[in-house]
Structure 1
Amino acid sequence: MTAIEDRPQMLPEAFEQLAATAETLDVRLEFIFGRLGVKAVPDGVHDEIIRWVTQQCMQQRPDLWLYPERGLKVEISGQGHAKPDGTLAPQGSFVGDGQWSDPDQVLMTVEVTSYDRDTDRRDRHDKPRAYARTGIPVYLLIDRDAGEVVVYSRPEDGVYSFRERHQFGKPVELPQPVGMTLDTGLLKTWAP
């Protein structure tokens, strides 16, 4: 853990107020490991990939729902705040919550890489650490630059102890508690 992680630069309540104001300007903010980040506005391919993941989830796990852009309190202390591209949880998990939810019912988070450096760093480095520290069982990263799907699972002692990479086009087994298989053939048609 770095010194900046030990000393958050703002209180969670202050971040939540700032993020709420930013949403009125169509800007999405995240606060992970003491760093404020702006989440890129998704492009059309990004949106299509999230639609595809949602469809796969609905077909294979109709008891669950992939919530887009659900604000989650992350890290062990809940001081971090992330807005995953998708959050898989039982239907009704966030009823009564405000903009930010505790992740206790979350089974998987999904991120699709964007083409800006800040979001890229968070998706590949910061978010796996934050989600593992939070205890989220599965993190699915759809990496458009590398043309691969990366599955992180088995959070132990604040890190994912298992990481598996699959090239676009190969079937991807998502471990329990998600328990489904993604046919990633369509991702090849959307790769740059």
Structure 2
Amino acid sequence: MPLACAPFVPDGGEWADPKGVLMVLEVTSHDADTDRRDRKEKRDGYAAAGIPVHLLIDRESCTLTVHSDPEDGSYRDSPSLPDGASVTVPAPVDITLDTEPLKEFAR
């Protein structure tokens, strides 16, 4: 099944209904609050919203973390792999990504 992306623009405000969102892909910033915001707060917010998969590309640690199976505001599964690894993104997305090209963008 092809993976299609479409822009999502809420009607207003900073919060939108997550219904229908299958996955969020996040790339860490280089800001001072990256650990708190990108690695913890956003992850927890996506899990609380019931978003099935959160793929975090961490430029500092050169890893990819696939958070999945949200339950009670937390992801129950969160394997981390090094940049360049073949990453399986679970259902409902159900794809395998070759992340070798990401190595040139780390740090």
TM-score (norm 2): 0.89
Q: Which residue of 2 aligns with 1:126?
A: 41
Q: Which residue of 2 aligns with 1:110?
A: 25
User: Looking at both structures, which has the greater relative contact order when contacts are Cα pairs under 8 Å and sequence separation is at least 6?
Assistant: 2
1:172 is paired with a residue of what secondary structure?
strand
Q: Which residue of 1 aligns with 2:83?
A: 168
The whole-number CA distance in structure 1 between the counterparts of 2:56 and 2:6 is: 14
1:65 is paired with a residue of what secondary structure?
coil
Higher helix share: 1
The whole-number CA distance in structure 2 between the counterparts of 1:191 and 1:153 is: 23
Show structure 1 runs of 4+ deviating over 4 A.
none
Unpaired runs of at least 5, structure 1: 1-59, 71-93
Q: CA RMSD for the aligned pairs?
A: 1.7
Q: Which residue of 2 aligns with 1:148?
A: 63
Larger radius of gyration: 1
Q: How many Å apart are 1:66 and its aligned residue?
A: 5.3
Q: Which residue of 2 aligns with 1:98?
A: 11
Contact 1:114 1:120 in 2 (8 A): no
Percent identity, please. Answer: 47
The whole-number CA distance in structure 2 between the counterparts of 1:101 and 1:152 is: 21
